[in-house]
């Protein structure tokens, strides 16, 4: 093929849409032409991406920024672990509803009619007490902040006429009737050593709580004696009554220790009076028992208890009474 003919065909193959391409004899110019064609295709794509990015930023700028408190925060595991635990409330309290069932009640009631006195002695078993019981209310409670707190104990009992024996003879047959109402109300300041009181705890967990306060005693007793009248007729004659309310200083302590997570042993003892309100003025309690948790905040308590009171005015003629009870106490105690 003649050289002129070859160059003519090469020129035609490099012609596109009426534009004339450079000859293959100049490879540098040809490469620049090809790069320019690639950039022509890429420029629309870059323009589209740029417009999309700008629109996205504009939409973000128009959205309201969340409040500081609503922003989620990320904490490292170490920071979360080192956060202190929320402190428990410094306040705590208990309420216990209980019933005292004395298997033995003994005592003496001495009344005066102004010129002479008369005494009746009492010895009752549990059946006698229950048959004559008119009313009974018993409640204990405590409240504390940190370790310092208050406790109350309210015990009210009313018995109808029950049989007694007279200490004097003559016209008296030896029989007497006594009607008794007794209220004992304790109020004391307490301080706790050891762990907070709870229904459930670890074995060995304990608390020791001494307390000091006042005890208010209200006693109302009426005595009637059976006398032998003329013709052998027997009748009851009222001999007098004893009615008094007085205040005693009170000292005591209570303790508890867990034997298992739900079983605990407890004890309580107190003494009041010390002879400050009469020639004889003394009262006290001794109690020991077991408590079992029937829930996370409730205990069923069963215990043996001894309670005694001895009081005499010391007047002439004197009056007073004594009462000694021992038996079982059952209570339901709530912790909060």
User: Which pLDDT value is given to residue 205?
Assistant: 97
239 vs 217: which has the higher pLDDT: 217
User: Which pLDDT value is given to residue 164?
Assistant: 81
User: Which pLDDT value is given to residue 53?
Assistant: 54
The share of the chain scoring above pLDDT 90, in percent, equals: 53
Q: Is the pLDDT of residue 17 over 50?
A: no
**Digit-coded pLDDT (tens) for 249-276:** 999 999 999 999 999 999 999 999 998 8
Give CA separation, 207 vs 98, 258, 267, 325, in Å: 21, 9, 11, 27
**Overall average pLDDT of the 4-8 stretch:** 49
5 vs 325: which has the higher pLDDT: 325
Domains, the chain, ordered by start:
3-57 (no CATH), 91-335 (2.40.128.90)
- Nearest-5° Cα angle at 256, 251 to 262: 155
Tell me the C-alpha distance between 196 and 270, whole Å.
Answer: 21
Q: Is the pLDDT of residue 177 over 60?
A: yes
**Digit-coded pLDDT (tens) for 284-332:** 999 999 999 999 999 999 999 999 999 999 888 888 999 999 999 999 9
User: Which pLDDT value is given to residue 236?
Assistant: 61
Q: Is the pLDDT of residue 37 over 50?
A: yes
Q: Is the pLDDT of residue 193 over 80?
A: yes
Q: Is the pLDDT of residue 18 over 50?
A: no
Q: Whole-number mean pLDDT of the chain?
A: 80
User: Which pLDDT value is given to residue 112?
Assistant: 80
**Overall average pLDDT of the 220-228 stretch:** 80
Quickly state the pLDDT bin for 240 (edges 50, 70, 90): confident
Q: Is the pLDDT of residue 42 over 70?
A: no
Give CA separation, 132 vs 100, 125, 159, 256, in Å: 15, 11, 5, 35
Q: Is the pLDDT of residue 30 over 60?
A: no
**Digit-coded pLDDT (tens) for 119-144:** 888 999 999 999 999 999 999 999 99
User: Which pLDDT value is given to residue 9?
Assistant: 55
Q: Is the pLDDT of residue 81 over 50?
A: no
Query: 16: which 2 tokens?
Result: 């596109």
**Overall average pLDDT of the 27-34 stretch:** 51
Quickly state the pLDDT bin for 78 (edges 50, 70, 90): very low
Tell me the C-alpha distance between 62 and 59, whole Å.
Answer: 5
71 vs 108: which has the higher pLDDT: 108
User: Which pLDDT value is given to residue 77?
Assistant: 43
Host H or E run for residue 55: helix 27-62
Q: Is the pLDDT of residue 188 over 90?
A: yes
User: Which pLDDT value is given to residue 44?
Assistant: 56
Q: Is the pLDDT of residue 279 over 60?
A: yes
User: Which pLDDT value is given to residue 52?
Assistant: 52
- How would you class 311 by CB atoms within 10 Å of its CB: exposed for 0-12, middle for 13-18, buried for 19 or more? buried
- How would you class 170 by CB atoms within 10 Å of its CB: exposed for 0-12, middle for 13-18, buried for 19 or more? exposed
Q: Is the pLDDT of residue 163 over 80?
A: no
């Amino acid at each position: 093929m003649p050289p002129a003919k070859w160059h003519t065909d090469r020129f035609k193959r490099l012609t596109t849409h009426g534009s004339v391409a450079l000859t293959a004899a100049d490879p540098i110019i040809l490469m620049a032409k090809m790069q320019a064609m690639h950039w022509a295709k890429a420029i629309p794509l870059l323009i589209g991406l740029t417009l999309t990015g700008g629109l996205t930023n504009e939409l973000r700028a128009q959205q309201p920024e969340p409040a500081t408190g609503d922003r989620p925060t990320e904490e490292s595991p170490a920071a979360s672990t080192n956060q202190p635990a929320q402190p428990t409330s410094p306040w705590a309290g208990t309420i216990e509803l209980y019933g005292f069932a004395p298997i033995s009640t003994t005592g003496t009631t001495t009344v005066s009619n102004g010129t002479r006195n008369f005494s009746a002695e009492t010895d009752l078993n549990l059946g006698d007490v229950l048959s004559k019981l008119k009313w009974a209310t018993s409640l204990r409670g405590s409240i504390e902040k940190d370790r310092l707190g208050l406790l109350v104990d309210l015990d009210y009992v009313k018995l109808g006429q029950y049989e007694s024996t007279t200490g004097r003879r003559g016209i008296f047959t030896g029989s007497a009737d006594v009607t008794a109402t007794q209220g004992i109300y304790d109020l004391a300041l307490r301080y706790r050593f050891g762990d907070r009181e709870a229904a459930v705890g670890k074995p060995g967990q304990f608390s020791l709580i001494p307390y000091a306060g006042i005890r208010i005693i209200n006693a109302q007793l009426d005595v009637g004696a059976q006398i032998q009248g003329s013709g052998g007729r027997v009748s009851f004659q009222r001999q007098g009554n004893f009615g008094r309310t007085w205040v005693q200083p009170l000292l005591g302590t209570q303790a508890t220790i867990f034997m298992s997570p739900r079983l605990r042993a407890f004890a309580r003892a107190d003494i009041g009076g010390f002879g400050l309100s009469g020639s004889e003025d003394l009262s006290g309690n001794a109690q020991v028992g077991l408590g079992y948790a029937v829930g996370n905040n409730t205990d069923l308590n069963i215990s043996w208890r001894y309670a005694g009171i001895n009081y005499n005015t010391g007047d002439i003629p004197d009056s007073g009474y004594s009462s000694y009870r021992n038996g079982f106490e059952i209570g339901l105690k709530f912790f909060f």
